[in-house]
Chains A and B, each alone.
Chain A
Amino acid sequence: MKTAQEKRVLVLDPGFRTLTGHHFNNNVSLTMAGADANAKFRILAGDSCGSVGQLDPFTTPHFATDLYEGSVQFQESWEFDCWLHVNTKFRADLEAIEADDLDWATLILVPAITQFHILSLARWLDQELRKRPELKVIIQLMFSPTWTAWDAVCKSGDQMYAEAFDILRPHEGKRVFYCSELAASCREFEPMLNSKVQVLPHPGIWRKTAATSTSQSTEGAPLRIGYFGYAKREKGFHLVPDVVKLVRKRFDASEASFFVQVNHGAYDPEIVAADKALSDYSDPGVELRVGSMSDTEYLDSFESADVLLLPYDPELYRGRGSGVFSEAIGYGKIVIAPESAGVGEEIMAGNGAGVLFAKHDAQSVASATIEAILGARGLLKTARQSAQKWRDKHSGEGYLKILDGLIS
């Protein structure tokens, strides 16, 4: 029997497929916080999801459609093809959700969705909401309408979102609530909606170690600059070799060292070329880590950095949030980020410390990095002061608190 305060949250997370990564972290964070917040969770994950450790009791592999899926029947019409293919397939996944799960739930949480999935989601939700008058829905608009998982720019994404929002219009603000991670990404969607898009930070899992455990605290150690995450053009990986070389012209290995994660799918020639350029660059102060890392290794490496390179392309990245960015702020790092993207806006709003670049090229990113190194002492102090506040906000507890405010 449902009690008035109890939340029974059915999480639809087709992107959750592995024991690591942000989908995993978010779900762990939420389920851990749920116990104190009288919230219970059932997570419908991607169908290839194997054992996910502590999340196993909550998780059912379900979605054949991946969150990062596309399908190109004809090169010229790939946007339409993806839209048609993904929506058709995703609708079948949604229709296959057990009635028992839907009857159990008081809230459906969609932590991420794309322009290629949202039409089928909207149609299905409209149908289920009409059948279940108590049910409410939170949709986290994680990606800009132009985003794709494969670095292409989707020009018709706005129309794809707008038509889906139109279907859910009767429920909007009453039973369907839209959220996004950063203020900038909320603004991207608000023109298409009648209601305000709420900021709902993605919850992270934070190590209890102090945010000050950086190499800078070791007297005489070089300042460590890190690049982490999946290597794509939208994340500016192709600029990294030149940035490293330009910074090296100004600071030697005793003053600045680099840790670069090189993790890509080898489908983009520009990224492959950048990988090769880094591999060919012989410098004792540049450490490359090829491939993916376990959570422990990732966090160990992350915590050893003082400055995080986020050479994101603002045209592609736009208002979207970033796991690496969030971790950088939460662990008190200095960030190098684009001025005209959502992540840069957060720095300008005083939510962290960093140096922003206006132009998306290696020279500008390198100049920002050099400026950060020169001002590291003061910037790190500010960064560490902001860290705890960010962690509190970007936590399972913080997430559920905002969620409560939205649906109550």
Chain B
Amino acid sequence: MTSHTANYPVLEAVVVIERGLSDPMTEDWLTGIDLLSRLGGIPADPATAHSQRPLSQHIRLVRPKLKLSQAATWREIVAAAGAMVESVEASMHEADAAGMAIWLEADCAEMLACSFAVERFGGEGAITEIFFDVTPHAALRFSEPFGQQVLKRIQAGLLGGGAKPYFVARHAAIDEALHALGAPVVVDPPFAPTPRSAPTNGQTPTRAELDIQDITSTTASGDKFYTKLRQRVLELMSQRSNGPMEVSVKGAVAQIVRATPYLEDLASAKIALSLHPEDPENQSALNTLNASPVLRLAFPEGYEDGRVSDPDITALREVRSRSTPAEWINFLVRSAHDAVGYGVKDLSIGDRNIRLDIR
């Protein structure tokens, strides 16, 4: 799935373009700081970095005249790109001097505007590489027939202007979506998924559901499963914005395990997991999920109060007390095969807090 890993040179100057960087509370800002700290030694402490003057030497803000909704039509996207060309062109001239541009959280209109701009002043040829940090929503839109044409035009336009485009995938779903479209995808260490929690700022998490069982039941081949799963994860990610989100995943454990790289794309989401004990892959499945640096398993709604009414809970606690974490999970799975109906929660296994629902 991963195409290749890029090794960024440490550059004297890099132009980073992002319309949202004026707000230091956004995830974009944090990503920008993170990236710049790797590239040019900018202090990485997000609490102070936004006030650091050196940052301004590296960042060029682009503010589109038209703020697009996620439901924007292609005609609106192309029109927005057209409206942005002039301001983007100025930034591209700066990038030309730097030799390289990185566009954080790039959406379709911004990438197209960038391509138009380079086409317009193309020929100077000093800018050799442009890295687009593609948003989940843009990856989703590129999968549409018209979107594929736009993606190809972006690539062709930039190459025509002497700039090689790379599409940076920070998530597995984006990586695979773009890779399937033949775009040069970079999965870059600075952008690799990190188990960083999205700041909640006291916000109530948005709740969403990802029904993998439904995907499984409507598809015959693994390819289709991944295609549909990728599509749904991208949809969820594009809804996520910068706020916290809780995603409830429904499906057989074997399917959830297959989906793990995609679920990790929802890194800041809590994963509410429903196990299906009849599935023979449960045992290894749990271990796989547990090994994920990103997933945090949680009960589905309705199990929050911690009270379990099952009469055998005492026996279960005894088993738990004399088991290693691995033995405990094995026991749970075996038990679940035998008797549906156990409810267990708030397990402490090693240094992890895992919340499980077996029913």
Q: Confirm or deny: B144 has a beta carbon within 8 angstroms of a beta carbon on chain A.
A: yes
B residues in contact with A81, CB < 8 Å: 153
Nearest-neighbour CB distance to chain A for B53, whole angstroms, equals: 41
Q: Which of B30-38, B73-81, B274-282 contacts A (4 or more CB under 8 A)?
A: B73-81
**Are A159 and B74 also in contact (CB < 8 A) when A74-B157, A74-B160, A80-B146 are?**
yes
Q: Are A163 and B74 in contact (CB under 8 A)?
A: yes
Contact of B145 (CB < 8 Å), options: A74, A77, A84, A155: A155
Nearest-neighbour CB distance to chain B for A38, whole angstroms, equals: 38
Q: How many angstroms from the CA of A81 to the CA of B153 in the assembled complex?
A: 8
Nearest-neighbour CB distance to chain B for A159, whole angstroms, equals: 4
B residues in contact with A74, CB < 8 Å: 152-153, 156-157, 160
Q: Confirm or deny: B266 has a beta carbon within 8 angstroms of a beta carbon on chain A.
A: no
Across the interface, name the chain B residue whose C-beta is closest to A79. Answer: B149
Q: Confirm or deny: B290 has a beta carbon within 8 angstroms of a beta carbon on chain A.
A: no
Q: Are A80 and B145 in contact (CB under 8 A)?
A: no
Q: Are A159 and B152 in contact (CB under 8 A)?
A: no
Contact of A156 (CB < 8 Å), options: B78, B146, B155: B146
Q: How many angstroms from the CA of A79 to the CA of B156 in the assembled complex?
A: 13
Across the interface, name the chain A residue whose C-beta is closest to B182. Answer: A76
Q: Are B160 and A84 in contact (CB under 8 A)?
A: no
B residues in contact with A73, CB < 8 Å: 156
Q: Are A80 and B149 in contact (CB under 8 A)?
A: yes
Nearest-neighbour CB distance to chain A for B159, whole angstroms, equals: 9
**Are A84 and B78 also in contact (CB < 8 A) when A74-B156, A76-B152 are?**
yes
Indicate with 1 or 0, residue by residue over B60-93, a CB within 8 angstroms of chain A CB atoms: 0000000000000111001000000000000000
Nearest-neighbour CB distance to chain A for B120, whole angstroms, equals: 13
Q: Confirm or deny: A166 has a beta carbon within 8 angstroms of a beta carbon on chain B.
A: yes
Contact of A159 (CB < 8 Å), options: B146, B153, B155, B156: B146
Q: How many angstroms from the CA of A48 to the CA of B208 in the assembled complex?
A: 58
With an 8 Å Cβ cutoff, the count of chain A residues facing the other chain is 18
Q: Are B78 and A159 in contact (CB under 8 A)?
A: no
Q: How many angstroms from the CA of A159 to the CA of B144 in the assembled complex?
A: 9
Q: Confirm or deny: B286 has a beta carbon within 8 angstroms of a beta carbon on chain A.
A: no
Indicate with 1 or 0, residue by residue over A284-328, a CB within 8 angstroms of chain B CB atoms: 000000000000000000000000000000000000000000000
Q: How many angstroms from the CA of A77 to the CA of B152 in the assembled complex?
A: 5
B residues in contact with A80, CB < 8 Å: 146, 149-150, 152-153
- A contact patch SS: helix
Nearest-neighbour CB distance to chain B for A239, whole angstroms, equals: 29
Across the interface, name the chain A residue whose C-beta is closest to B144. Answer: A159
Across the interface, name the chain B residue whose C-beta is closest to A167. Answer: B75
A residues in contact with B146, CB < 8 Å: 79-80, 156, 159-160
Q: Confirm or deny: A392 has a beta carbon within 8 angstroms of a beta carbon on chain B.
A: no
Across the interface, name the chain B residue whose C-beta is closest to A78. Answer: B149
B residues in contact with A93, CB < 8 Å: none
Q: Confirm or deny: B335 has a beta carbon within 8 angstroms of a beta carbon on chain A.
A: no
Q: How many angstroms from the CA of A2 to the CA of B156 in the assembled complex?
A: 53
Q: Are A77 and B153 in contact (CB under 8 A)?
A: yes
Q: Are B145 and A76 in contact (CB under 8 A)?
A: no
Across the interface, name the chain B residue whose C-beta is closest to A88. Answer: B82
Nearest-neighbour CB distance to chain A for B144, whole angstroms, equals: 7
Q: How many angstroms from the CA of A292 to the CA of B152 in the assembled complex?
A: 38
Q: Confirm or deny: B283 has a beta carbon within 8 angstroms of a beta carbon on chain A.
A: no
B residues in contact with A356, CB < 8 Å: none
A residues in contact with B145, CB < 8 Å: 155-156, 158-159
Across the interface, name the chain B residue whose C-beta is closest to A82. Answer: B149
Q: Confirm or deny: A86 has a beta carbon within 8 angstroms of a beta carbon on chain B.
A: no
Indicate with 1 or 0, residue by residue over A152-176, a CB within 8 angstroms of chain B CB atoms: 0001101110010010000000000
Q: Are B149 and A156 in contact (CB under 8 A)?
A: yes
B residues in contact with A67, CB < 8 Å: none
Q: Confirm or deny: A341 has a beta carbon within 8 angstroms of a beta carbon on chain B.
A: no
Q: Confirm or deny: A119 has a beta carbon within 8 angstroms of a beta carbon on chain B.
A: yes
Nearest-neighbour CB distance to chain B for A40, whole angstroms, equals: 35
Q: Confirm or deny: B148 has a beta carbon within 8 angstroms of a beta carbon on chain A.
A: yes
Most B CB atoms within 10 A — which of A76, A79, A80? A80
B residues in contact with A159, CB < 8 Å: 74, 144-146
**Are A77 and B73 also in contact (CB < 8 A) when A84-B78, A159-B144 are?**
no
Interface residues of B in 142-177 (CB under 8 A from A): 144-146, 148-150, 152-153, 155-157, 160
Nearest-neighbour CB distance to chain A for B183, whole angstroms, equals: 11
Q: How many angstroms from the CA of A249 to the CA of B148 in the assembled complex?
A: 47
Q: Are A156 and B148 in contact (CB under 8 A)?
A: yes
Nearest-neighbour CB distance to chain A for B180, whole angstroms, equals: 15
A residues in contact with B153, CB < 8 Å: 74, 76-77, 80-81
Nearest-neighbour CB distance to chain A for B271, whole angstroms, equals: 34
B residues in contact with A163, CB < 8 Å: 73-75
Q: How many angstroms from the CA of A119 to the CA of B153 in the assembled complex?
A: 19
Q: How many angstroms from the CA of A79 to the CA of B152 in the assembled complex?
A: 10
Interface residues of A in 129-171 (CB under 8 A from B): 155-156, 158-160, 163, 166
Q: How many angstroms from the CA of A255 to the CA of B153 in the assembled complex?
A: 55
Q: Are A76 and B75 in contact (CB under 8 A)?
A: no
B residues in contact with A119, CB < 8 Å: 75
Q: How many angstroms from the CA of A73 to the CA of B148 in the assembled complex?
A: 16
Across the interface, name the chain B residue whose C-beta is closest to A75. Answer: B156
B residues in contact with A83, CB < 8 Å: 149
Across the interface, name the chain B residue whose C-beta is closest to A145. Answer: B145
Q: Are A76 and B78 in contact (CB under 8 A)?
A: no
B residues in contact with A77, CB < 8 Å: 149-150, 152-153, 156
Interface residues of B (CB under 8 A from A): 73-75, 78, 144-146, 148-150, 152-153, 155-157, 160
10 A-B pairs in the complex with CB atoms less than 8 angstroms apart: A74-B160, A76-B156, A80-B153, A81-B153, A156-B145, A156-B149, A160-B146, A163-B73, A163-B74, A166-B73
- Starting from the known contacts A77-B153, A160-B146, A163-B73, 7 additional A-B residue pairs (CB-CB under 8 Å) come to A75-B156, A77-B149, A80-B146, A83-B149, A119-B75, A155-B145, A163-B75
Nearest 9 interchain pairs by C-beta = A74-B156, A77-B153, A80-B149, A156-B145, A156-B146, A77-B152, A159-B146, A76-B152, A79-B149
